[in-house]
Structure 1
Amino acid sequence: MSPEALNSLFSLCIGFALAGALTSGFQAIVHRPAGFGLLQEGVAPSTFAAVPFLVFAAPFIIMRNTLRGVQVESRRFEFVMMATVLAGFWSLMSGTFFVMTLRAVGLLV
């Protein structure tokens, strides 16, 4: 496996892990699952604070909603595959940003 592919795989895994940790932490504190409905609470400071949270938590929320939709609504394979690719790409980008931030701070070599 090439170093670039290994770096991308690491970023993908970090992105999904970060999304899961953020969503689980939110649910532990607020006692309700995180979702994109956080953006529909009107003009308030909490809505603006939800944007950066959702940027990093979105891959987990997308996959959770997709898997729940498969069980409840019997969604088609094409929709599930499209949502999985979207969540994977989003996770790769957020993981890459997180790894680059850790490198810039000096916590990761």
Structure 2
Amino acid sequence: ETIADVRNLISTTVPPPPEFSIHRNFKNLNHEICGTRKEQKAKEIPNIDSRIFGGERAGILEFPWMAMLFYRTLNTGQLVFRCGGSVISQKFVLTAAHCVSHLSS
């Protein structure tokens, strides 16, 4: 086979995006605000170190589909930032397993 033969086998057509409205949990989303950025920025939370080189801090409510996950320490009751997550419905936040695996039930 030649390179031309291989190129003829490769499709450059981009498939359409999946239809999300047929998903069983689609009705749980608030379609008026989900995925919409709030124009007015609230104050930033202090003491959160930047972990992205050259990045910028996001204001509270700037990305309303994102969540900050905190845990409360047993000895002092202080809230400590642990991870981020994505709001996937009015009841649930999706996060990585390592964000909660150390916590007791």
Asked if these proteins are the same fold (TM beyond 0.5), I'd say: no
Higher percent of residues as strand: 2
Highest RCO, 1 vs 2 (Cα 8 Å, sep ≥ 6):
1
User: Which has more helix, going by share of residues?
Assistant: 1
TM-score scaled by length of structure 1:
0.22
**Structure having the higher Rg:** 2
TM-score of the superposed pair, with normalisation by structure 2: 0.22
